[in-house]
Amino acid sequence: MHLRTTAALTAAFISTTLFLLLLPIPTVNAHNITRILANFPEFSTFNHYLTITHLADEINNRQTITVCAVNNAGMSDLLHKHLSLSTIKNVLSLHVLLDYFGAKKLHQITNRTTLTATMFQATGTATGSSGLVNITDLKGGKVGLSTDDSVVTESSVFVKSVREIPYSISVIQISRMLPSAEAEAPTPEPADVNITSLMSAHGCKDFAEALLASKAMSSFADNINGGLSVFCVIDNAFRQFLLSPRYKNLTVGEKQSLLEYHGVPVYQSKAMLRSNNGATNTLATDGASKYDFIVQNDGQDVTVKTGVVTAKIVGTLIDQQPLVIFTIDKVLLPKELFKGAGSPAPAPAPEAHAPKADSPKASKNKSKNKEKHVDTPAPASSEAPADSPDDYSEDLEADSDGAVEIKGFRFAALVCMFNYLVV
Ligand SMILES: *[C@@H]1O[C@H](CO)[C@@H](O)[C@H](O)[C@H]1NC(C)=O
Ligand SMILES: *[C@@H]1O[C@H](CO)[C@@H](O)[C@H](O)[C@H]1NC(C)=O
Ligand SMILES: *[C@@H]1O[C@H](CO)[C@@H](O)[C@H](O)[C@H]1NC(C)=O
Ligand SMILES: *[C@@H]1O[C@H](CO)[C@@H](O)[C@H](O)[C@H]1NC(C)=O
Ligand SMILES: *[C@@H]1O[C@H](CO)[C@@H](O)[C@H](O)[C@H]1NC(C)=O
Ligand SMILES: *[C@@H]1O[C@H](CO)[C@@H](O)[C@H](O)[C@H]1NC(C)=O
C-alpha cells in the first residue's frame, strides 16, 4: 500500500516535473510577425518599421497579443510628423495590445467596451492610463479603438482581420493610427542620456563610479550613437568584487578591459538577445584579445556566460534604440583575466578542459552578431547546450555561482533527456 502510494506520488512528481520542464519549450517563437505581414503589400511600411524599431522581436517573443496594423497611407500620415525612431517605436508599441482580440471577440465585448493594456504601457514610458487602448463596440457593428488622451472624434475603427492564430497572435487592420500625445512626445536622444547618473540612480552606483574613474568611460560614450548594450552590475555584487584581491591585483589596463567587457557595441534589446543566443564581442574585444561571452536563455531569463561565471539579466534601466542598459546580478569575469587564477585544476572534471580548445564552440570568431544560431546543433535548442555544458562549469570562488551552475546544468541535462523521450 505504502509502496503504491509512494509510486503514485513519484509518478505525479515526475509528470509535474516534466510538465514544468516542458513549459519553456513552447515559448520558442510560435509566430513571426514579419513573415505574416510580408504577405500583405499594403502593410509593407508598417512591417518595415516593426523591423527597424525591433518591435518585431518583442512581438515574436509574446503570446496572446493583437497587432493593430495600418496600411501604407496610414503610416505615411505618421511619417509626415518627422518623429525620431524611438518615438515611432513608442507610437507603434501602442498598437500592440497585450491580449488576444480576434474579429469575433471584438464584436462580443462584455458591456460593449473595454480598456486593454499595450506594449507601450508595458515599457514604462507611458504614464497613468495613456498606454491603454479603449475598445468599444459601436452601433451598427463597428468597433472603435481610441486612446485616453485622444479626442473621441479621432478614433480609429476595426477594418478587417488580417491573420488569426488562436491564443497566439491576432493581426487586425485598423482604419488609422491611434493618436496619442504621450506616445508621440519626443524622447530624449540617447546621446543626451547620462548613462552613469542613470546607473547611479538605479542601484549601480559603484559600477558607475568605477566607469567614471576609468578610460573605459570613453569607449562607452563613443559607442552610444552607433549602438550600445551595457550590462551593469548591481551594487552588492560589484562592491564585494571591488574589495576582493582578484580585483585589486589587476593592472589599470586590465581594470579598463574588465569594465569594457560589460559593454557590447551593438544595440540588443532583451527580446533580441533571447532570440539570438550565441557568442558576442564586447568593447574589450580587439584583434588578439577575444573578450567575448555567450548569451543564453535559461527559461524566461537571459544569462551571460563568460566561461568563468554566469550572470543573469535582472533589470533594464533604459531601452531606447540605439542604447540599452541592463542590470546583471554578477560581475562578468572574462576568461582572459581570470581563467585559472586562484583555482588550479578544478578537481571533479579535468576533461572539461580538453574539449574546450577545439570544441565547435571554440570557433567563437564568427561572433559578429547575426548568424549566431547557425552553430547551435539542434533546432529550438537554446535551452540545452548539449555539446558542452561543461564549458562554464567551474567557478573560482564560493560566491554561490556553484549552485547556480549545477542547477543550470541539471536543468539542461533533464531537458535534453526529455527531448529524447519525446522524440
Ligand atoms: C521572421 O521572418 C523574417 C522574414 O521571413 C526572417 O528574416 C526572420 O529571421 C524571422 N524571424 C525569426 C525570429 O525567425
Ligand atoms: C457589465 O455591466 C453590468 C451592469 O452594469 C455590471 O454589473 C458588470 O460588472 C459589468 N461587467 C464588466 C465586465 O464590466
Ligand atoms: C471608452 O470610450 C467610450 C467613449 O469615450 C466611453 O463611453 C467608454 O466608457 C470607454 N470605456 C472604458 C472601459 O473606459
Ligand atoms: C554624468 O553625471 C556624472 C555624475 O553622476 C558627472 O560626473 C558626469 O560628468 C556626467 N557626464 C556627462 C557626459 O555629462
Ligand atoms: C594577488 O597578488 C598577490 C601578490 O602578487 C598574490 O599572492 C595573490 O595570490 C594574488 N591573488 C589573486 C586572487 O590573484
Ligand atoms: C575565424 O577563424 C578562421 C579559422 O580559424 C579564420 O580563417 C578566419 O579569418 C577567422 N575570422 C575572423 C573574423 O577572425
Q: How far is the CA of 368 from the centre of ligand 6 (A)?
A: 12
Q: How far apart are CA 106 and CA 103, in angstroms?
A: 5
Which pLDDT score, from 0 to 100, does residue 27 have?
44
On whether the CB atoms of residues 211 and 196 are closer than 8 A, the answer is yes
* Atom of ligand 2 minimally distant from the CA of 111: 1
Answer for the pair 89, 191: CB distance below 8 angstroms, yes or no.
no
Closest among 296, 305, 294, 293 to 274, alpha carbons compared: 296
From atom 13 of ligand 4, which residue's Cα is the shortest distance away? 194
Decide if 298 contacts 313 (C-beta within 8 A).
Answer: no
- Tell me, using a 6 A CB cutoff, whether residue 87 lines ligand 4: no
* 225 and 136 within one domain: no
366 CA from centroid of ligand 5 (Å) = 34
Measured CA to CA, the distance from residue 93 to residue 70 in angstroms comes to 13
Q: Relative to the alpha carbon of 149, which ligand is closest? A: 3
Q: Which atom of ligand 5 is nearest to the CA of 244?
A: 13
Q: What's the rounded Cα separation, in Å, for the pair 262 and 328?
A: 10
Residue 340 structural domain: 190-422
- The count of other CB atoms within 10 Å of the CB of residue 86 is 19
Q: What pLDDT was estimated at residue 367? A: 35
Cα 245 to ligand 5 centroid, rounded to whole Å: 7
What was the pLDDT predicted at 7? 55
Tell me the one-letter amino acid at 393.
S
What CATH number does the domain containing 64 carry? 2.30.180.10
Per DSSP, the residues of 283-341 read TT-BTTB---EEEEEETTEEEEE-SS-EEEEEEEEEEETTEEEEEESS----HHHHSST
80: helix, coil or strand? coil
The pLDDT value recorded for residue 382 is: 36
Pick the closest to residue 240 from 312, 329, 325, 326 (CA basis).
Answer: 329
Q: Which atom of ligand 5 is nearest to the CA of 246?
A: 13
Q: How far apart are CA 57 and CA 113, in angstroms?
A: 30
pLDDT at 397: 36
Cα separation of 345 and 392, whole Å? Answer: 14
Task: Answer yes or no: do 173 and 108 share one domain.
Answer: yes
* Tens of pLDDT, residue by residue, the chain (423 residues): 455 555 555 555 555 444 444 444 444 457 999 999 999 999 999 999 999 999 999 999 888 999 999 999 999 999 999 998 889 999 999 999 999 999 999 998 888 899 999 998 877 666 666 788 999 988 888 999 998 765 555 679 999 999 999 989 999 999 999 988 888 888 777 778 899 999 999 999 999 999 999 999 999 999 998 899 999 999 999 999 999 999 999 999 999 999 999 999 999 999 899 888 999 999 999 877 799 999 999 988 999 999 999 999 999 998 888 899 999 999 999 999 997 644 433 333 333 333 333 333 333 333 333 333 333 333 333 333 333 333 333 333 333 333 333 333 334 434 434 444 433
The verdict on 268 and 353 lying in the same domain is yes
Dist CA 237 CA 399 (whole Å): 10
Whether residue 201 is found in the same domain as residue 323? yes
Query: Which of 184, 202, 217 represents a domain boundary (last residue)?
Result: 184
**Three-state secondary-structure class, residue 124:** coil
All three cell numbers of 299: 527559461
Q: Give CA 307 to chain center in angstroms.
A: 21
> By C-alpha distance, which of 247, 257, 262 is closest to 284?
257
Do the bridges between strand 65-69 and strand 169-174 make them parallel or antiparallel, or are there none, so unpaired?
parallel
Regarding whether 261 and 167 lie in a shared domain, the answer is no
pLDDT at 10: 53
**Residues 39 and 89 reside in one and the same domain:** yes
Alpha-carbon distance of 101 to 137, in angstroms, equals 13
On whether the CB atoms of residues 57 and 32 are closer than 8 A, the answer is: no
* Whether residue 149 is found in the same domain as residue 221: no
- Å from CA of 211 to ligand 4 middle: 11
Residues sharing a CB contact under 8 Å with residue 245, sequence separation 6 or more, in sequence order = none
Last residue of a domain, one of 158, 184, 210: 184
The reply to whether 203 and 307 lie within a common domain is: yes
What is the widest separation between alpha-carbon atoms in the chain? 77
Whether residue 107 is found in the same domain as residue 204 = no
**b/e map of 383-409 (b: 16 or more CB within 10 Å)?**
bbbebebbbbbbbbeeeebeebbeebe
pTM value is 0.63
Give residue 225 CA to ligand 4 midpoint distance, Å.
17
CB-based pocket (< 6 A), ligand 5: 245-246, 249, 341-342
Q: Which three cell numbers stand for residue 177?
A: 493610427
Whether 171 and 248 map to the same domain: the answer is: no
Atom number in ligand 4 closest to CA 221: 13
Question: 129, 153, 184 — which closes off a domain?
Answer: 184
Angle CA(320)–CA(37)–CA(69) in degrees, nearest 5?
Answer: 65
What's the Rg (C-alpha) of the chain? 24
Other C-beta atoms closer than 10 Å to the C-beta of 224 total: 19
Number of domains in the chain: 3
Cα→Cα distances 9→4, 15, 16, 72, Å: 8, 10, 10, 58
Residue with the three cell numbers 524611438: 86
The C-alpha cell at 27 is 515559448
